[in-house]
Amino acid sequence: MAIQAPGKRFGKRLEHSKVFGHGLHGKKNMNSDLNVTPLVDMFVILVLFLVANFSNGEVLMMTKDINLPEAANTDELVLAPVVMVSKTEVLISGALVGRVDDLTREEYLNIPALEEKLRDMKKQFEDLHNAAQDTGAFKGDVNIQADKSAQFRIIKRVMFSCASAGYGNISFATMASSVKKEGGESASRD
Amino acid sequence: MAGGMDLGGGGKGGKKPLDASINLVPFIDLMAVTIVFLIMSAVWTQLGRLQVSQSGQSSAEEQPPQDQKQPVNLLITEKELKLSVGGTPFDTIPVTRDEKGRVDLSKLTGYLAQIKKEQPDQSAITLQTEDAVLYDDLVRIIDNCIGSQFPSVSVSPAST
C-alpha cells in the first residue's frame, strides 16, 4: 500500500464530491512565483525620495553635545565657517580653541585662538580666490552653532572674535520649528 | 507559445522561449540595504539661521538717520526685559517661563506691534544682553523680533 500524506481521507464514495473530494484529486504545483515588480518599484521610489531629500549639503555637523535652540523665522543656512559652542568647549572647524570654564573666568573681550584661526581661514580664502582669479568677494559669513544652555558671556566673545577677524555676517544656527511664533508672519529679509 | 520567439531550434526541432525572467532578488537586496543606509544617515531636523549684527562694530552703519526714526532698544536681563523707544521706556516685562522653561514673550510681542504701528518704517532693534542670559532665551527673543517685523537685529553686551 502506498504511503499517504496524513489528513482527512474520505471514502471512495465522496472522492469525487465537490465539497469533500476537494484537493484529493489533481495535484497543484506549490512552487508559485511571487510577483516582486511592485516591491521593486516601491523601493526605487523610496530610494529616490531619500536621496533627493537628504542630500542637500551638510553645513553643520550635528553632535550630541550641542542642542540647538528652536526658531520659526529663519533663513536657509549658508556654507560658511562654523564656530561650535558646546557646554564645555568652543571649536572651529572641529579644532578646539577654548574651554568654556576658562573663557568664563577670563575678562578679555575676544578669544585669541579663535580670532587667529579665523584670520588664517580668511587669508586662505583670499589667497585661493586670488590664485583662481575669482572675483567672488569675501562676504564674511560665519555660523555660530551654540548649545541652548550657553551663556551670552561666551557668545559675545565668539561674536567679537568673529567681527575682529573680518567675519561680520554672523548667523545663529537654529532648528527650524514649524510653528510660527506670536509675531505672526515671517519678516522679509534682504 | 505566448510571447515566445521561434529561434529555429538549431536543427534539433525544439523551440526555446526568449521570455527569460531577470532574477530580481539581488536588486531587492541592494535596494533594501540602500534604504536602511539612507534612513540611518539622514538628518531629520530642519536647520535654519538667524542673522544678527554686532552693534557698535562698524561706525559707518551707525550714521545718524536722516528720517525721524527713533531707535528701539531692548535690555535683556535674567529677570526682566526693558523695552525703550528713543529713550522712552515701556513697562518692564518680568521674565516668566512656561512649563517647558521657555520665556513668555506675549507682552513683548504686543509692545513691538505697538511700536511697529507707530513707526512702520522702523526695522532695526538693538538687543542689549547681559552676560548671564541663556543663548536659548536670546534666540527666542531674536526670533520674536524678526517675527514682529524687526528684521535688522543687532546684539550688544549690556553696559554695566
The pLDDT assigned to A147 comes to: 92
Residue A146 has a pLDDT of: 92
| Best A60, A73, A109, A178 residue to mutate vs chain B (most B CBs within 10 Å) | A73
> One-letter amino acid identity for B47?
L
pLDDT for res B5: 47
- Which among B89, B55, A72, B51 is positioned nearest to B81, based on CA atoms? B89
**Which one is the CATH code of A70-176: 3.40.50, 1.20.120, 3.30.420, 2.60.40?**
3.30.420
> Could you report the per-residue pLDDT of B77-113, keeping only the tens digit for each?
988 899 988 878 888 888 888 888 888 888 899 999 9
Kindly provide the ipTM of the predicted complex, given to two decimals: 0.71
pLDDT for A25 equals: 52
Q: How many CB pairs under 8 A join A and B?
A: 180
pLDDT band at B160 (very low <50, low <70, confident <90, very high): low
Residues A119 and A58 sit within 8 Å (Cβ to Cβ): no
Model confidence at B8: pLDDT above 70? no
Which set of grid coordinates corresponds to residue B79? 529677570
Task: Evaluate whether the domain defined by B68-157 bears CATH number 1.10.10.
Answer: no
Residue A15 reports pLDDT greater than 80: no
> When comparing pLDDT for A190 and A56, which is higher?
A56
pLDDT the model gives residue B135: 92
Q: Does B104 touch chain A (CB under 8 A)?
A: no
In tens, the pLDDT along A79-128 reads 888 999 998 999 998 889 888 888 888 878 888 899 899 999 989 888 88
A80 has a chain B CB within 8 A of its CB: no
Closest CA in chain B for residue A158: B54
Of A95, A110, A92, residue with least CA distance to A165: A110
| Residue in the block written with cell 529555429 | B8
Q: Please report, for chain A, the start and end positions of each structural domain, with discontinuous segments joined by +.
A: 70-176
B118-149 per-position pLDDT tens digit: 888 888 899 999 988 999 999 999 999 999 88
- Taking the C-alpha atoms of residue A147 and residue A66, their distance in angstroms, rounded to an integer, is 5
Model pLDDT, residue B139: 92
Which residue in chain A is spatially nearest to B109 when comparing CA positions? Answer: A183
